[in-house]
Structure 1
Amino acid sequence: MDLGDLRAVGTALSASQVLSAYRAGLFPMGLGESGAGPIGWWAPRRRGVLRTGELRVAKSLRRSARRFEWSVDQRFPEVIAACADSGRSGAWITPAVVDIYSELHDRGHAHSVEVLREGELVGGLYGVAFGSVFAGESMFHRVSDASKVALLRLVEILDAVNSEVPWIIDTQWQTPHLESLGVSEIDGFEYLQALGRAESGPHSQVFLTQ
């Protein structure tokens, strides 16, 4: 992370505060070791986004996807726990963060996509949805391609909504891995404009019907 993307520092963290921050283009991440406090509120100058029609899906991934089952919001606690595993490189999800996003899930704002093989959770992702925005927080995999399949299924869910407002997935920063999947960088001000358009969209409602 680039400290030039840091907008504010605080100590308190609540579910309502986090949801309001997302709507303003901010997201929380601790400044201490492994995500410990104080809480930093971030808005990257170059924002990573995946937009409608831009997901890159290799034929091999399409074939691989057929080997997995998937579900939505059925195993949120397991997904966020796997993403928070302290043994992962760059771990930053603290117990306090788990509690906040679990509350957001209980309130219908945070969602997970689970990828399974023979009933066993092998990958997934979670994030916060509002309007036509899905703010991705983290993903994990225990077998090859499982996190990519989670992203593929998320895009399929969003694509299924008939709306003139295009969806957008916020990945916060772009990484080489995400770039290979179609994530691009846009200027932070351009992101705020896209956020303003997408906030009125209906895509987040689809998670309530899965």
Structure 2
Amino acid sequence: MFHAAGIRFPPPTTADATGLVAISAQMDADMLLAAYSQGLFPWADRPVRWYSPDPRAVFHLDHLTLPSNLPKLMRRGQFRCTYDQAFAEVMRGCASTHIADGEWITPTFLAAYGALHGRGHAHSVEVWQGDALVGGLYGVQIGGLFAGESMFHRVPNASKAAFHALVHQLRWQAVTLVDAQVLNAHTARLGARDMPRSMYLRRLKAALAQPTQGSGARWPTTLPPSAPPRSA
């Protein structure tokens, strides 16, 4: 069992067939920063399990498959998207949506990622209809790495709108590595693809050394109109 005092995990190459690298009795913001910078992420609580699967799912920002009608919905004002305005509420929305998959967004996760958000390394995208939060997502940013954690929606297309807003933000910042962790049907439809872990770790090393405007700072509430996303 890994203990928090060292903040040094076993190498990802020691993972078992499921991708499990280490188990810890606790989790905090320092452990999260250490884990993501070493190619790991947490999954499940009591105890906390740390994974580095092979292959690793990633998004390539120039090869995405967003719904063709989504820009029109955004222009019509069906959704309003913001950044870092309701981080805890987004996490709770993700927790309630995915409870059927196992209650892994526990109070331990809420506290640790909330502390990381306070340091400017965990971010949220919120999707609103009027004053109602109808969708969103959250993830972790360190340098040029953004690791997506979870998303939710309460009305059709809201999670896709959140992803569209995330892509806008990451392109604006020139983020180079977008981690989707494990490929599933939803992320595959959005354009995620598997990458060998060895290649992911090489890309991670380069991304961590990349300075970006949003790593370690709160994202601007909305993107300036002078910084449109590149065409996908």
TM-score (norm 1): 0.89
Counting matched residue pairs gives 201
1:89 aligned residue: 100
Give the one of 12, 20, 25 matched to 1:11: 25
Give the one of 73, 92, 95 matched to 2:84: 73
CA-based RMSD: 1.8
Give the one of 111, 116, 137 matched to 1:125: 137
Q: Which runs of 4+ in 1 moved over 6 A?
A: none
Decide whether the 8 Å contact of 1:74 with 1:114 is kept in 2.
yes
Counterpart CA distance in 1 for 2:34 and 2:47 is: 19
CA deviations on 1:8-35 (whole Å, 9 max, x unpaired) are: 11212121011110000001112xxxxx
- Larger deviation, residues 63-72 vs 133-142: 63-72
Decide whether the 8 Å contact of 1:48 with 1:171 is kept in 2.
yes
More strand by share: 1
The runs of 5 or more residues in structure 2 that have no matched partner are 1-15, 221-232
Counterpart CA distance in 2 for 1:87 and 1:196 is: 31
Q: Does 1:195 align with 2:207?
A: no
Shift of 1:209: 4.8
Give the residue type in structure 2 aligned to 1:191: Y
The runs of 5 or more residues in structure 1 that have no matched partner are 31-35
Shift of 1:63: 2.2
2:124 aligned residue: 112
SS, match of residue 41 in structure 1: strand
Decide whether the 8 Å contact of 1:44 with 1:188 is kept in 2.
yes
1:33 aligned residue: none
Decide whether the 8 Å contact of 2:21 with 2:52 is kept in 1.
yes
User: Which aligned pairs between 1:24-173 and structure 2 lie closer than 5 A?
Assistant: 24-30=38-44, 36-66=45-75, 67-85=78-96, 88-90=99-101, 91-161=103-173, 163=174, 167-173=176-182
Percent pairwise identity: 39
